[in-house]
Structure 1
Amino acid sequence: MRANRKLWATAAICLTVVAGATGCGKGDDKPADPFAGLSADAIADKAVEATKNVTALRVKGGFAEDGETVTIDMAVDDKNNCKGSMENPKGGKAEIIGTGGAAYMKGDDAFWKSTMGGEDSSAEETGAISTLLKGRWMKAPAGEEGPAAFCDLKSITKDMDEDTPRKGLTREADADVDGTPAAVLKGKPEKNGETPTFYVAKDSAKPYILRVVTTGGDEPGTVELSDFDKPVDATAPPADQVMDMEALMKAGAGS
């Protein structure tokens, strides 16, 4: 499963957003409900349409995978720029920068040791690669796998659109997400036991998904979206601080 699809599918960032407008209600100070008369499913349709057309967004949160929590904080725009970080549940943290058709990852020692270690890797090989990358950035080519996958906004939103069921939702009591009024849409429990709940901005012009909470199942988690349409300022690291992936693999193989 592609990294971007995993992000959206497991975090259940697939169901909901709202079309909202603010105004004064008659006889009170509460703004009129921008979703009055709309079913939860109809709100979800508007939400997905609005969110998939943004030119940039930031994804922050964590989701469980194989009983461990993966944490990300990544901003990405439609120019294939991205910038952020991720934490490996097995240990360590890495920064990620994407620009100019390539992605760069810089992890701490714990991150590289936990990431590079595998069934076919010896402790010596893992340690050698970790030492080689200490204080340096690993460069990966553009593609659908690895860190570069986080930099493809079009692919990410396309997966969100395709993976989002829009039937059988229920609107719950409204809530607040970091100061923004939000409509809350709850999905039906899925076959794997997961139940997604979506928080949608009550804004007719920008009915974006603000938060997705997944409970139950094997992969619960919470993800928040923000910084919509905000360009990402990403600059490639200095060449003398970069280790090309191909060269790295040759070094790891003892070439």
Structure 2
Amino acid sequence: MRANRKLWAAATVCVAVVAGVTGCSTGDDKAADPFAGLTADAIADKAVDTTKAATAFRMNGAGKTDGEEMTVDFAVDDKGNCKGTMQAPKGGKAEMLATGGNSYMKGDDAFWKSSGGEEGASSDESDSMSALLKGRWMKMPAGAGEDEDNFCDLKKIVKDMDEETPRKGLTREADADVDGKPAAVLTKKDKGESTTFYVAKDSAKPYILRVVTTGGDDPGTVTLSEFDKPVTVTAPPKGDVVDMEELMKGAS
């Protein structure tokens, strides 16, 4: 009976890890490495291509922009839906939504006072912007700014990722876990900057799970999750929205 229980335990483990695993046995063998025989550069290629093909994901990150701390946490899909939060480099927090081709932002007082108005705006102008938008959503004009467009545009996000991800001269380090998921660890060091990629050890979906950059001008950490999970967004009520395009037309 004891031997039979051991065999049953081994069999259930085999069933659990059958995807991407070959040669499951009754011994203590570890799951096969889905990247066996591949160079670190080849693993990076697979990871980028797989992540680019995702129909949606959640991005959580913290880092520096122009020397100031910034954090983001948002989900975005390939249908133009997006929702999340950000903390601005100069202070304050904001929520962001995008759906139906429209983008909305709702910030606290600190956010609007630190970022309200055009560059060089006076404190009175920033205070006016904060008062106008207090507790309300700002509907952003179409093409209002490249940063806003990129924030909720999955195609642009993965395009930037494709262009910015180094794929040459990588080294594979010891494997690690990212939120409980086994990951291959790839590193790249260049002129005082070090970038580490964590790639899901999944033969079918080797997504990029995390990227950590240290040193250099823009250190930070970005974690990706909830791949291919649809993003459901409801536009805010019209009574809670300030349409900046209409406001600008009225001012002119």
Residue equivalent to 1:30: 30
* In 2: Cα distance, 1:182 partner to 1:99 partner: 33
Check whether the contact 1:129–1:248 (CA below 8 A) recurs between aligned residues. no
Query: 2: distance between equivalents of 1:24 and 1:175?
Result: 23
Aligned residue number for residue 111 of structure 2: 111
How far apart, in 1, do the equivalents of 2:150 and 2:243 lie? 17
1:242 aligned partner: 241
2:155 matched residue in structure 1:
154
Which portions of structure 1, spanning 4 or more consecutive aligned residues, are displaced by more than 3 angstroms?
22-27, 141-144, 247-251
Deviation at 1:146, TM superposition (A): 4.1
1:67-96: CA deviation from partner (whole Å, max 9, x where unpaired): 211100010000000000000122110000
Identity rate of aligned residues, in percent? 69
- Equivalent position SS for 2:189: coil
Structure 1: how far apart are the matches of 2:98 and 2:165?
Answer: 27
Residue 85 and residue 248 in structure 1: after superposition, are their counterparts in 2 closer, same or farther (change >3 A)?
Answer: farther
* Deviation (angstroms), 1:196: 0.6
Note the C-alpha offset of 1:25.
6.0
Which segments of 5 or more consecutive residues in structure 1 lack a partner in the other structure?
1-19
More displaced, 91-100 or 156-165?
Answer: 156-165
Q: Does structure 2 conserve the Cα–Cα contact (< 8 Å) formed by 1:63 and 1:221?
A: yes
CA–CA separation in structure 2 for the residues paired with 1:181 and 1:164: 21
Q: 1:81–1:232: 8 Å Cα contact kept in structure 2?
A: yes
Shift of 1:120: 2.5
TM-score scaled by length of structure 2: 0.86
Partner residue in 2 for 1:89:
89
Shift of 1:22: 3.5
1:33-112 pair list within 5 angstroms: 33-112=33-112
Cα displacement (A) at 1:249: 4.6
Structure 1 residues 216-255: aligned runs within 5 Å: 216-249=215-248
Matched to 1:236, the amino acid is: A
How much does 1:247 deviate? Answer: 3.9
For the residues of structure 1 that align with 2:119 and 2:85, how far apart are their CA atoms? 26
Q: Deviations over 1:230-253 (max 9, x none)?
A: 0101111011111112244568xx
**CA RMSD across the alignment:** 2.0
Q: Which residue of 1 aligns with 2:199?
A: 200
CA distance in 1, matches of 2:96, 2:119: 25
Cα distance between partner residues in 1 of 2:147 and 2:82: 13
Q: Which residue of 1 aligns with 2:13?
A: none
Structure 1 stretch displaced more, 241-250 or 226-235: 241-250
Query: Does structure 2 retain, via aligned residues, the 8 Å contact 1:101–1:141?
Result: no
Greater relative CO (CA pairs within 8 A, separation 6+) = 1
- Unpaired runs of at least 5, structure 2: 1-18
Distance 2:147 2:38 in 1: 40
Q: In 2 relative to 1, CA 34–119 (structure 1 residues): closer, same or farther, beyond 3 Å?
A: closer
Q: Provide Cα deviations, 1:88-146, integer angstroms capped at 9, x if missing partner.
A: 12211000000011110000000000112665211111101100000110111444624
Q: Decide whether the 8 Å contact of 1:56 with 1:75 is kept in 2.
A: yes
Go from structure 1 to structure 2 and tell me whether the alpha carbon gap of 1:33 and 1:48 turns closer, same or farther (over 3 Å shift): same
Q: In 2, Cα distance between the equivalents of 1:240 and 1:194?
A: 48
What is the count of residue pairs matched by the alignment?
232
Per the alignment, residue 5 of structure 2 pairs with none
1:156 to partner: Cα distance: 1.2
Deviation at 1:217, TM superposition (A): 1.1
- Is the Cα–Cα contact under 8 Å of residues 140 and 146 in structure 1 kept in the other structure? no
